Homo-oligomer: A and B are copies of this chain.
Amino acid sequence: MGMDQGSARTPATSLSFRLGVLGAMAEARWAGRIAGHGVKPKHVALLSSLRLGAADSQLELAATLRVAPSLVVLLADQLETLGAVSRERDPGDRRRQRLVLTAVGERLLDDCVGAADALDEELVTALSATERAALTRILGKLAGAEGLPV
């Protein structure tokens, strides 16, 4: 009823807004923890896409990660320097550069995912077990619906 037109006190429940803020916060914290490995979230996203087989040519990678192809070159360069991926010309089409995870890359990815899981533990302390499960499931559904390399 006589609500002072809602706007004056309600903290804007928009998902887009909250997702953006929370996502930035979580990513920043996570970035701090994996920095010691010499990688940033984008690198891990690339490694993860490789493991999932979501893409292997650099152009496909750019599409799934939603970044410019030139950025993939840079990320791949750095990961190659770390020994986490190796570039192999596609024998069938020698324009294409296929990226493959090395054993080092697998290990690196595992470490970074481990760091994310550890951070999760801290983030969700305010949530019940049911809520945690629900959140994981729902975010997975959203990512899937958006065609993101979850």
Is the CB–CB distance between A17 and B44 below 8 Å? yes
Q: Residues of A within 8 Å of B, CB-based: how many?
A: 58
A80 at the interface (CB under 8 A from B): no
A33-64 residues at the B interface, CB under 8 angstroms: 41, 44-45, 48, 51-52
A8-49 residues at the B interface, CB under 8 angstroms: 8-9, 11-27, 29-30, 41, 44-45, 48
B contact residues around A26 at 8 Å (CB)? 15-16, 19-20, 23
B-contact bits for A78-89, CB 8 A (1 contact / 0 none): 000000000000
CB distance from A51 to the nearest CB of B (A): 7
Binds B, one of A69-77, A92-100, A137-145: A137-145
Which of B12, B20, B25, B140 touches A18 (beta carbons < 8 Å)?
B140
- Decide yes or no: A110 and B16 within 8 Å by CB, A22-B23, A138-B131 being known contacts: no
Is the CB–CB distance between A16 and B123 below 8 Å? yes
Is the CB–CB distance between A127 and B142 below 8 Å? yes
Give the complex CA separation of A124 and B19 in angstroms.
12
B contact residues around A143 at 8 Å (CB)? 18, 21-22
Can you show 23 pairs from A to B with CB atoms below 8 A apart? A7-B51, A7-B110, A7-B113, A9-B52, A11-B150, A13-B140, A14-B119, A14-B120, A15-B123, A16-B123, A17-B41, A17-B44, A17-B45, A18-B139, A18-B140, A18-B143, A20-B27, A20-B30, A23-B27, A25-B66, A126-B141, A127-B138, A135-B135
